[in-house]
Amino acid sequence: MKKVVSVFLSLMVFLAALFVINIFQTKDQIRVENIESTPASFKIYLSNTDKSAQATLNFFERVAKTQYASIIRTDFPNQTVLKSAVVDRSSFPYTNFFQDPKRINLFEKLNTTYTQTASSKEQPHIPVFGKSINIQLQSMAAYFRNGDKSANGIYTIIPAADSSKNAIIKEFVAFFNVSESELLTPKTQSEKEYVNRDLLIYAAAFSVLALLSLLGVLALALSRIKPIGVWKIAGLSTRDILLQLYRLPIITTVASSVLVLMACYFYFDYFPKGFWTLLGASQIAVLLIFVLAILIVLVLIRSIKVVQFLKNAISFKLGTALLAVLKAVMIILTTVLLIGSLANIKDIVAATKRYNQIAEVGKKLTINSLGFEGEALKNFELNNGKNEARLGAVFSQLDTQLGADFISGGTVYPRRNLTRYPAASTFKLQDAYQVVRVNQNALRSLNLSAKKHLSNQFLVPISRKNDRHIKLLSQLLAYDRLSETEQKKTTPDQLKVAIQYYMPTTKKAKYFSSDGKWHATSNPIFEVINPQKLDYKSQNQLLTADVSNPLRITNTKQNRQKLKAMTNAQKLGGIELRFATIGAILNNETDSSRLGLQISAGLLIITFLISLIVSAFASFLYFETHKFKLSVLRVLGIKLVDRYQQIIGFLLLMYVTQIIVAFMLQKSALAIVVGLLLAACDLLVSFAMLYHEENKNIVQVLKGE
């Protein structure tokens, strides 16, 4: 048991160090991304500038020379922090980059690049905390040399003196012909999160090991009750008894802490401010947890009086109470993890059911993910509609050349979904319409057709011919598809709509709604889009990813080749599109749910096993504290259930609460089944321990031996 406790404590020391290292790696990533910042620096934000890269570079070099200011641009290609600089030696923050205030000529050669890796050419490197952080410092001339980069971006200005700030801003305002507020206002806001998956894993593993260590320390003392009594009779002090029990764990913990500190010292070449303080505190925290466990044992040892030991009347009421509290905590954790596992099971069942339903469209290609870089990223940040317009133009080509389908829909409640338009008040609150937006290709697959190149065209089932609201609904839907600018130029009643009635068809319109739910709708109202003049709302839908994207393309080798050529990122101005079959996307979602289930179920099993260990300890202590009374009750023929009604009542109360909470939150009969199974296992372990203790020689117990 000493070796087991020593291993647990050593692992806790290691995990505590990893926890601190993870926090400081995130903190240093933030530092690296803003490494050039000084108390005097400020940022400017360029967007939609018509200045060429060369003209911008010449301007920056002139400002750096006349205003004694360094100008540094920040980009993030391939998970690397790229700093491109126009350097003024009097203002450049050498210490921030190189941890050395010595001023050097940074860019004697155009292609000189400084990274976090030490160079064999005695070139200074940029110290960082952690091998996963990548940074490069190059000249801005090197950044713009190929002529394929835009001047738009974020720049940090580092003046040699605060007094230069206003003069520099005026020069930028004049050169780029923008207002000062536009120049200094960030277009997007982002914040680094300290909490990540690895950090949560370290914290969970540390917590589990802390509980196991606590139980191990207590178990070590309980397994040595008789030697402890003998040592007390022999006159050993409490300190000597503790050393006899825990000398090996103490030495192992201290040695592990020293090794961790030495490993960090030799592994990292840069230490952020506060790292050693927090790392030392984490190691002390492990020792404090160990000390807390020892203090509990200390109370136990001091409670053992020589007279009690000789009478075999030792009480463990404090230990039993502590374990009861610990048991309650473990059941709460088990409940949380049970709810998480049930949620993942429901997701897997729903995803599998949905996958089986979409067999027809599962082989169709759609947009799985999209990204932005360069000009597209700036358009995304500005939300100026240019990315949407580009995708709309691409869809018109996909419509004609690849026979792409566009299908999207849902239930429209005019009084809810269109309430921002006054005319919607003429509808009743319960009025509902199934509306599906499609192109001609999708209509043909449903054995329907409509006039080509006609805007605001609607196909309505003949059953709604007498519905006096159809025209108004069509106008509101057509108006809702317009951009805000377009809506200002007209009103719903001014829009012309073409309504065509169709006979019922046996084919269902099958699509995913915006929330990813699968629908198969019979005879809905069809909004027929015009791919040559795609409306703003449909353009926006094309910028979504996963199954909710309305684009559908037949998956053939020829189509994939054409698709690759037509959706090249350069042609799309930096919009990166990735395609996948709908079936593959749903499989990925199921895989994610399975992974979540594996994690939550694994934690549930670990937590429940610890809970069983706690139950076994609690049962043992309860019996040891009341063994004389329990033995007498057994001799008198009192039933097992009656003898241990306190333990049974406590466990049943905990598990009934767990089952009720899990069922109320998940509405699943599985919660009841799993909850009952966990309760049965726990009661079985508790009774097994009690039965084992009771099977000892009852005569010896009654004699006090």
> CA-to-CA distance for 44 and 114, rounded, in angstroms?
24
End-to-end CA distance of the chain: 26
Tally of CB atoms within 10 A around 608: 19
By CB atoms closer than 10 A (0-12, 13-18, 19+), residue 262 is exposed
Q: Are residues 291 and 337 in the same domain?
A: yes
- Residue, of 359 and 362, whose pLDDT is higher: 362
Tally of CB atoms within 10 A around 447: 10
pLDDT at 307: 46
Question: pTM (2 decimals)?
Answer: 0.59
pLDDT at 144 over 70: yes
pLDDT category at 643 given cuts 50, 70, 90 is confident
> CA-to-CA distance for 148 and 153, rounded, in angstroms?
14
Average pLDDT over residues 305-330: 58
Whether 454 contacts 530, CB under 8 Å: yes
Copy the structure tokens of residue 435.
Answer: 């509306």
pLDDT at 474: 93
Copy the structure tokens of residue 509.
Answer: 């319109």
Q: Are residues 258 and 302 in the same domain?
A: yes
Residue that terminates a domain, selected from 573, 599, 630:
573
Q: Are residues 430 and 569 in the same domain?
A: yes
Q: Are residues 568 and 457 in the same domain?
A: yes
Of 58-72, 310-324, 328-342, 418-432, least confident by mean pLDDT is: 310-324
Q: Rg of the chain's alpha carbons, rounded to an integer? A: 36
pLDDT at 309 over 50: no
In the DSSP assignment, the letter for residue 162 is G
Picking from 12, 58, 479, 473, the residue whose alpha carbon sits closest to that of residue 282 is: 12
Residue that terminates a domain, selected from 547, 573, 599:
573
Q: Are residues 141 and 224 in the same domain?
A: no
Of 347-351, 489-493, 573-577, least confident by mean pLDDT is: 347-351
pLDDT tens for 557-612 read 899 888 888 888 777 888 888 898 888 887 776 666 676 667 767 777 777 777 77
pLDDT at 310 over 50: no
Q: Are residues 387 and 477 in the same domain?
A: yes
Copy the structure tokens of residue 619.
Answer: 């049962």
Q: Is residue 23 part of a domain?
A: no
Average pLDDT over residues 74-89: 88
The CA-atom distances, in angstroms, between 215 and each of 303, 611, 624 are 19, 11, 17
pLDDT at 327 over 80: no
- Residue, of 437 and 317, whose pLDDT is higher: 437
Copy the structure tokens of residue 200.
Answer: 């949560």
> CA-to-CA distance for 139 and 68, rounded, in angstroms?
17
Whether 462 contacts 504, CB under 8 Å: yes
The packing angle between helices 165-176 and 53-67, to 10°, is 160
> CA-to-CA distance for 552 and 538, rounded, in angstroms?
14
Average pLDDT over residues 451-473: 90
In the DSSP assignment, the letter for residue 546 is S
Phi, psi of 613 (to 5 degrees): -60, -45
pLDDT at 69 over 50: yes
Q: Is residue 583 part of a domain?
A: no
pLDDT at 537: 92
- Residue, of 272 and 607, whose pLDDT is higher: 272
Range of the domain at 158: 48-184
Of 2-6, 227-231, 388-392, 615-619, least confident by mean pLDDT is: 227-231
DSSP letters of 319-360? HHHHHHHHHHHHHHHHHHHHHHHHHHHHHHHHHHHHHHHTTT
What total number of domains does the chain contain? 3
Picking from 454, 536, 451, 521, the residue whose alpha carbon sits closest to that of residue 488 is: 536
Q: Are residues 437 and 529 in the same domain?
A: yes
Helix (H, G, I), strand (E, B) or coil at 272: coil
Q: Is residue 364 part of a domain?
A: no
- Residue, of 317 and 63, whose pLDDT is higher: 63
pLDDT category at 21 given cuts 50, 70, 90 is very high
> CA-to-CA distance for 538 and 455, rounded, in angstroms?
13
pLDDT at 359: 65
pLDDT at 316 over 60: no
Element (H, E) at 433: strand 433-438
Whether 458 contacts 497, CB under 8 Å: yes
Count CA atoms closer than 13 A to 278's CA, side-chain side.
Answer: 15
Helix (H, G, I), strand (E, B) or coil at 64: helix
Phi, psi of 704 (to 5 degrees): 85, 20
Whether 328 contacts 652, CB under 8 Å: no
pLDDT tens for 515-538 read 888 888 999 999 999 998 899 999
Average pLDDT over residues 375-384: 77
pLDDT tens for 201-219 read 788 788 878 877 877 777 6
Q: Is residue 190 part of a domain?
A: no
Q: How many residues does the chain have?
A: 705
Element (H, E) at 290: helix 275-303
> CA-to-CA distance for 24 and 17, rounded, in angstroms?
11
Q: Is residue 5 part of a domain?
A: no
Q: Is residue 363 part of a domain?
A: no
Secondary structure, 3-state, 606-675: HHHHHHHHHHHHHHHHHHHHHHHHHHHHHHCCCCHHHHCHHHHHHHHHHHHHHHHHHHHHHCCHHHHHHH
pLDDT at 313 over 50: no
Of 221-225, 305-309, 320-324, 585-589, least confident by mean pLDDT is: 305-309
Q: Are residues 426 and 553 in the same domain?
A: yes
Copy the structure tokens of residue 331.
Answer: 């059941």
Q: Are residues 178 and 202 in the same domain?
A: no
Give percent of the chain above pLDDT 90. Answer: 24
- Residue, of 353 and 105, whose pLDDT is higher: 105
**Residues 6 or more apart whose Cβ sits within 8 Å of residue 207:** none
pLDDT tens for 154-199 read 899 999 887 788 899 999 999 988 888 888 888 666 666 777 777 8
Element (H, E) at 583: helix 582-635
Tally of CB atoms within 10 A around 555: 19
pLDDT at 704 over 60: no
pLDDT at 229 over 80: no
Residue that terminates a domain, selected from 512, 546, 573:
573
> CA-to-CA distance for 373 and 569, rounded, in angstroms?
9
Tally of CB atoms within 10 A around 646: 11
Q: Are residues 620 and 506 in the same domain?
A: no
**Residues 6 or more apart whose Cβ sits within 8 Å of residue 125:** 98, 114, 115, 116, 117, 118, 119
pLDDT category at 223 given cuts 50, 70, 90 is low
Q: Which residue has the tokens 């995708």?
A: 391
Q: Is residue 352 part of a domain?
A: no
Beta-strand pair 433-438/551-552: unpaired
Tally of CB atoms within 10 A around 176: 20
Q: Are residues 636 and 698 in the same domain?
A: yes
**Residues 6 or more apart whose Cβ sits within 8 Å of residue 607:** 208, 330, 333, 334, 337
Q: Is residue 30 part of a domain?
A: no
Q: Are residues 342 and 237 in the same domain?
A: yes
The Cα diameter of the chain in Å comes to 104
